[in-house]
Amino acid sequence: MARIPYKIYLSEDEMPKRWYNLKAVMKELPTPFIHPATLKPCTAEDLHPVFCKELVDQEFNTTDQYIDIPEEITEYYKTYRPSPLVRAYSLEKMLDTPAEIYYKFEGTNTSGSHKLNSAAAQVYYAKKQGLTSLTTETGAGQWGTALSMACAYFNIPLKVYMVKISSQQKPYRKAVIETYGGKVIPSPSDTTEIGRKILAENPGTGGSLGCAISEAMEVALKTENCRYVLGSVLDHVLLHQSIIGEETRIACEKYDINPDILIGCVGGGSNFGGLIAPFVGDKIAGKNNMRIIAVEPASCPTLTRGKYAFDFGDTGKMTPLIRMYTLGSGFIPSPNHSGGLRYHGMSPIVSKLYHDGYFEARAEEQSKIFDAATMFSRSEGILPAPESSHALKVAIDEALRCKESGEKKTILFGLTGTGYFDLAAYMSYNDGTMTDYIPSDTDLEKGFASLPEVQVRF
């Protein structure tokens, strides 16, 4: 076998033509969304006022293992994909490990992350349906940027409710989003009923993704021919992100790479769900016994310390009830947390797979995340996004474990993006002012207190 190159690029012709629908291969499906008023499973019609029709169909599709990627989306994907699978030779050397380390690098587009994979698909379907505007929320800003890029390409106006603390920490994100034509509104804002209510109750709040989702949904519901789009959590977002896993699988097959350990970071679960899709699909079918690890921040420990319960996806309690790992929709992460991944809930698919034991989860503190990010930037040359560095941190830990044991494992992780807009966080790490925060059980109890009582009926 020829030496594995630093970067494995597929040709455009080798790009996957289909997304991988995990629900078609899961032994047990995630619990459907529950309508909070009827306490019955939501129907497609319940979701049509909020989401684009085709996306709702994808959300409800539990039978087709593969779903064709429309030609127009593939054309757009080709502007920044296929993304490379990189052999981290320099990191391996720095760690002096016998392990082989690979990363799938999704930071090769201007949004700086994997988010464009779903943004492209969602905006395409919105345009096809004849919608005339879209709303969304964004936390760190990658999703807002990705969506504004896709909206510019398919020519649809966009309003972005951006978590206030992030908009203050990352003013340049706003500039990029606006350059692509998106309108940025720091959330909570006085432009919506729910925003005004949240501000009245908690005037100094830096906001949360849950608040921003409520505001964006309210505007979509009140604006004619407008829909809301979400950048993570939902099954159709994971479906679009499966392009990451499918490309990885093809690249691995080309060079006979067989990962022993697959690692991804989890916020709402979309990149992780997308990266692991074909691999966990094979694991479910008994074709591999790969170790799969999800990594989350210790300050927002949804999988490791959350409850598997019915909860709302947003603070304003406008979404259906979703059965997922959650810290409670009232959970607001500490403002000192700059590593992203601060959503209170988790994708229902990822939650169910975790509940059924298909992967492990780890929670990591942010100063350790930045130790890993610094080590990576100095060896591999890429300045990683703090979110991605969660996966990177555990990849390094596993590689060092191999060094101790002398094992030559193959470790593959998702490097979801770049950290050029996270320089304030890098500065606080570099000047030693970065602090860690792990919520106490009492802190978490406050979030759990916001869980809807109806859950006891299920």
Ligand X SMILES: Cc1ncc(COP(=O)(O)O)c(C=O)c1O
Shortest Cβ distance from residue 231 to ligand X (Å)? 7
Say how far apart CA 379 and CA 157 lie, in whole Å: 41
What are 324's two structure tokens?
């997922």
When the beta carbons of 305 and 446 are compared against ligand X, the nearer one is: 305
Shortest approach of ligand X to residue 182 CB, angstroms?
A: 16
In this complex, which beta carbon is closest to ligand X, that of residue 99 or of residue 350?
350
Instruction: Pick between residue 100 and residue 380 the one whose CB is nearest to ligand X.
Output: 380
- State in angstroms the smallest separation of the CB of 265 from ligand X: 5
252 vs 255, 294, 300, 317, 397, CA distance in Å? Answer: 5, 20, 33, 42, 22
CB of residue 241 to ligand X, shortest distance in Å: 7
Between 195 and 417, whose beta carbon lies closer to ligand X? 417
Residues that bind ligand X (CB under 6 A): 113, 139-140, 142-143, 232, 265-272, 340-341, 385, 387-388, 416-417
> What is residue 132's DSSP assignment?
-
Shortest reach from residue 289's CB to ligand X, in Å: 25
What span, in angstroms and rounded, lies between the C-alpha atoms of 409 and 97?
10
In the complex with ligand X, the residue whose CB is nearer, 153 or 272, is: 272
The gap between the terminal CA atoms of the chain, to the nearest Å, is 54
Are residues 44 and 60 in contact, defined by beta-carbon separation less than 8 angstroms?
yes
Q: How far is the CB of 189 from ligand X (least distance, A)?
A: 20
Minimum separation from the CB atom of position 238 to ligand X (A) = 8
**Which residues does residue 8 pair with via DSSP β-bridges, in sequence order?**
85
User: Which residue type sits at 182?
Assistant: G
As given in the structure block, the two tokens for residue 168 are: 């203050």
Q: CA 357 from chain center: how many Å?
A: 20
- The three-state secondary structure class of 11 is coil
Residue in 148, 124, 118, 152 with CA at minimum distance from that of residue 135: 148
Question: Do 55 and 125 touch, CB atoms closer than 8 A?
Answer: yes
With respect to ligand X, which residue has the nearer C-beta, 220 or 341? 341
* Three-state DSSP class for residue 304: helix
Q: Which residue number, 142 or 148, has a Cβ lying nearer to ligand X?
A: 142
